[in-house]
Amino acid sequence: MKKVLMVAYHFPPLAGSSGIQRTLRFVQHLPALGWQPLVLTVEPRAYEQTSPDLLPDVPPDTVVRRAFALDTARHLRVRGSYIGWMARPDRWISWRFDAVRQGMQLIKEFQPDAIWSTYPIATAHVIAQALHQKSGIPWVADFRDPMAQDGYPADPITWRSYQRIEQLAMEQAQRSVFTTPGAAQMYRDRYPQAASRITVIENGFDEESFAHAPVASSAPLAADQPVLLLHSGIVYPSERDPTQLFVALQRLRASASLGPQQLKIRFRASVHDDLLTALATQYGMLDFIELCPPVPYRQALSEMLSVDALLVMQASNCNAQIPAKIYEYLRAGRPLIGLTDPVGDTAGVLRGAGLDAIASLDSADEIAALLPPFVAAVRAQRATLPDPQAVRNASRQGRSEAFAQLLDGVLGRSA
């Protein structure tokens, strides 16, 4: 069987990030597609939060090596601060040293046919590039999302380190992979010499994870029962800024168009509960929202299946990015409202699934116009549901098949 060395920070027992699903599901599905994964990741101490709930999903015969790594912000802080270069390109740069050592041991022991590394922890690409240079094994750089962007990272020195890493990847990797068409096109424009080696493999959902989740009730809501709208996952202060949502709710309440007796918004595992509480207090909307802690992954999926509707937020500064959670939302089969730029890739996924409840996240006017009819449609059980064919197309099994084909192509190119 062919072998691929997978350099990934996001891997069980990490908790609190949907980014873990991409690597984990590739590891699950690749053996049946002719590829044995060899995982090179970090020691659990490097994670801010851990949970054992996804560890059973790692096939028991998977080779997993955990290299020494520290989180600069937590482990190397002195008197409340740390030196900037110790966190460039990211806080886990210490992972590089032992990972390269252990990676070369894995190469000697198993002789993998390809190396794969995955962002958004940029150090993973640093490690893979070093292993590629030392061994000559073909490298696939899984960017997922853009790295060096306008204004991100905000620190100019960190931005330049991101730029150097992506330049090396574009020069040396046999394939560079993105999760959205917009991101892929951005990099084709930025690096035209590498355009033919840039491709897209979107994120998706794992059908097996939904297998034992309960089916949502189809019973109509009671007259005094509000529609429960769920946002599951991180609310980034910039990329998913909910300010205009609260402005819209304030206007709707003032005009008696919508109140907390008709709508309750649940934010599950937002990470930024303080931001949501401050905004809800500022606009007098505390009784519109619920703030709920993280739950194990399958419990989160069950919640998506059981609520009345789902909420996705993505700002225009992320038009070339798609929240990984959206594919699980589609599989949940519930009504879905998107607060996102209508011309961005996130809106494109929604429209591709036949969903048109879309308003710009930065427009209180659009949100205020969209919410009342959407809530009424959900209550009346006539809201549009995701197209079944679009849902089937978004499975992780299909994404893994595309990944295996890409790896096969890389081997053919190398030969």
Domain count, the chain: 2
Same domain, 272 and 255: yes
Are the CB atoms for 156 and 163 separated by under 8 Å?
no
Q: Cα–Cα distances in Å, from 327 out to 8, 202, 285, 386, 401?
A: 21, 9, 29, 10, 17
Q: Both 85 and 183 in a single domain? A: yes
Query: Alpha helix (H) ranges present in 136-272?
Result: 156-172, 181-190, 207-210, 243-254
Spatial CB neighbours of 56, under 8 Å, sequence gap ≥ 6: none
The CATH number that applies at residue 300 is 3.40.50.2000
The pLDDT value recorded for residue 224 is: 82
State whether 283 and 150 are in the same domain.
no
Same domain, 147 and 52: yes
- 223 and 172 housed in the same domain: no
Are 254 and 179 contained in the same domain? Answer: no
Q: What is the DSSP letter of 15?
A: -
Specify whether 159 is located in the same domain as 228: no
Based on the domain organization, do 194 and 234 belong to the same domain?
no
Query: Whole domain around residue 280: which residue ranges?
Result: 209-393
Instruction: State CA 340 to chain mean position distance.
Output: 16
Can you give the pLDDT of all 415 residues of the chain as single tens digits?
999 999 999 999 999 787 899 999 999 999 999 999 999 999 999 999 999 999 999 999 999 999 999 999 888 887 777 777 788 999 999 999 999 999 999 999 999 999 999 999 999 999 999 999 999 999 999 999 999 998 889 999 999 999 999 999 999 999 999 999 999 999 999 999 999 999 999 999 999 889 877 665 656 788 889 999 999 999 999 999 999 999 999 999 999 999 999 999 999 999 999 999 999 999 999 999 999 999 988 899 999 999 999 999 999 999 999 999 999 999 999 999 999 999 999 999 999 999 999 999 999 999 999 999 999 999 999 999 999 999 998 999 999 999 999 999 999 865 5
- Taking the C-alpha atoms of residue 30 and residue 58, their distance in angstroms, rounded to an integer, is 12
165 and 262 inside one domain = no
Report the chain's C-alpha Rg in angstroms: 22
Give the model's pLDDT for residue 222.
Answer: 83
β-pairing, 2-7 vs 114-118, is parallel
* Domain identity same for 299 and 218: yes
Task: Let me know whether 54 and 126 are in one domain.
Answer: yes
pLDDT of residue 216: 56
- Looking at the structure, tell me whether residues 308 and 177 fall in a common domain: no
